[in-house]
Each structure stands twice: as C-alpha cells, then as structure tokens.
Amino acid sequence: MAELVYDETGRLLFTEEMAKEYTLLVPQMLPVTFRMLVKLVELDGGYHIEILETNTQKVVETGLKYVHNDMCYPAILSIGQLIEAVESGRYDKHKVALMITQTGGGCRASNYIHLLRKALKKAGLEYVPVISLNLSGMEKNPGFKISLKLGAQCVFAMMYGDMLVHLGNQCRPYEVEKGATDALIKSWTDRMVDLFTEGKGIGFGAMRRLMREMVKDFAKIERTNEKKPRVGIVGEIYVKYAPLGNNNLEEFLLKEGAEPVVPGVTDFIIFKVNNRYVDVGLYGGSPIKKAAMWIFQNFVIKCQNIMIEVIEEDGTFRAMSHFSELQELVKGYLGCGNKMGEGS
C-alpha cells in the first residue's frame, strides 16, 4: 500500500506510487466529452480513472450531509457524488483518490476542493487524497501532471464532444427511429476512444476529416419535418451540462416537445482564456502570460472555426456561433472584464 505523504502545509499528496495503485474518481459533468477526455488522461499518465454516473437521491442526501446547504448546488452534488462513491463499498477506500476541478477565480468552484477535504474529514476519510484539476498551477502533486501536449489533445477531444452534442441535439427531437441519435453518438464516442488509443485523431487535418464524417452520418438519421420550439439551456457550467445538476432537463424538454439548445463547452474555454488575457490589460500583469493566453485562445478559436466551417459547408445542420459574435452582442451592456457582477 502506498505511503501517505504530506506537504509542508499538511496537505495529503497524490504520489507517483499512488498513481500506479489507485483508482481516480471523477464526478460526471459532460456525459459525451468526459469519456474521451478521460481516455487521453489515462493514456498520458497510465492512470485508472472512473467517471461517476450515480444519479440518485442518495447523492443529494450525502452532499447535504457533508456540505453546508448555503453552498451552491453544484458543490453539494459533486461532493455528494464523490463521497457516496467512496462510502458505497464499490471501491477500496485505501486505494482511491478523488479528482475535482478548481477554477482559480472568484467563483466558489475555487473552494470546492477545500469543501471536499472538509467533507472527507467529517466522514472519517481524511486518508483519501484529493487532486485539483486546474490550469493555474495550483496544488501540484508528484503523481499527477498535465503536460502542454495533453492540454492540446484535450482541446481536440472537447471539440469532438461539442460536435457530437451539437449534431445530436438537432437530430434527437425529430428522429423517426427512437434512440437512433444516441446510438450514433455512442458509436462515434467509441470510435474516438479507439482512435486516441491508437495515437490518431489529433490535429487540425484529422479533426476536419473526422468532423465531416460525423456530419454525414448524422445527416443520414431519418427525421420528421416538424418545427419545434428551441429552448436554450444556459447558466452555471455544471448545472448547464450535468444531468444530475439540472434534474435531467434535456430529457424533460424533449418530452415536452421542444428542441434543447445547449452551448458548447468550447465557448466556456474561450471565455475563460480571453478573460485572463483581458485581465492583464485592465489590471496589469505579466506580458508573457498575456502572450500565452493570446496563443492558446487563437488555438481554440481555430478549432472552433473548423467545426463551424464543416457544418456550414454541408448545410444540413445549424452551426454554432463564433465567440466573437457573442462578444459583440454584449458591448454596451457588459465590459470584457466583468466576472462576478462588479462591472467593468
């Protein structure tokens, strides 16, 4: 069994020895995209990762038991899902680690990790290590690292996920054969996981070619000619995407005869990167950081442009908007530096 090692602050570290022995548990947020992301992370570091799909009342009750109900709902649910999994008996409590995202900004998501450790201590599970998944260099662990190469690969995986979700949402409400859309999404997700395992599917050329195939495959799904009201799902990222967080809202809208429209996670990534780029101009900071954010932002935008171009050149489906169009729409209402209601 791996030895428990702590840093100078008393934080339990996830060690290289643990990386070989432990199962990493991740709360579900993006049902399609996460499977591809997890495969890339496993291939890069040799980890064993499981995405938690538990969607029961017990998850909510566990979250409320260990997290103050004044905290935001995503914190209660994601921490509840993690603690419920550890206490369920499905895993060896002494060979499991928990992974959770940490934004590093003013959102309370920056504090989820501390709430999770507090919950683990309250549950008598303080020997379970917690890994922060972030791009800000916070809480480093010797047994878990994200390289620049892996970061770039993950961007491509998120593009594929966005494309599948975007096309699926335009087919599912109108499909003649019920379940055909979800079956095709699963088939493509399986294929992408296999391609990643073979070291393929990464790169602008490969992405354009594969996305063209995706569009053609989804265009073959037999659909009715109905016109249904489109209902946008917006808001906090976890509640927007996770079925557990939004109480299966997409499924409800489909039953009510609507077409759910969910913005891609690509826009969220560009927004976060652009925000940090703008920050340097507004509040000062490292020109190196500003340049790095500019390069990364343009990389993600190039990926998004390919996705939009592929959809538009086929003409069957409605393409998503460019992030720059959204920026233009908010001019005069919000400043680019607005984050937490403070205005700018």
Q: Note the pLDDT tens digit of each residue in 112-167.
A: 888 999 999 999 999 999 998 876 667 889 999 888 899 999 999 999 999 999 99
Question: Which residue has tokens 């070619």?
Answer: 209
Alpha-carbon gap, residue 160 to 54, rounded angstroms: 24
228-287: pLDDT as tens digits: 999 999 988 889 999 999 999 999 999 999 999 999 999 989 988 888 888 888 888 899
Domain positions in the chain are: 16-133, 148-226+264-330
Contact 229, 174 (CB under 8 A): no
Burial (Cβ within 10 Å: 0-12, 13-18, ≥19) of residue 317: middle
Task: Please state the pTM of the whole predicted model.
Answer: 0.92
Alpha-carbon gap, residue 220 to 240, rounded angstroms: 28
pLDDT at 343 over 50: no
Phi, psi of 99 (to 5 degrees): -115, 135
Question: Residue 107 — very low, low, confident or very high, per pLDDT cuts 50/70/90?
Answer: low
Task: Return the higher-pLDDT residue of 328 and 210.
Answer: 210
Contact 214, 167 (CB under 8 A): yes
The CATH topology of domain 16-133 is Rossmann fold (3.40.50)
Q: What is the number of other CB atoms lying within 10 angstroms of the CB of residue 176?
A: 9
Mean pLDDT for 307-333 is 93
Alpha-carbon gap, residue 173 to 254, rounded angstroms: 6
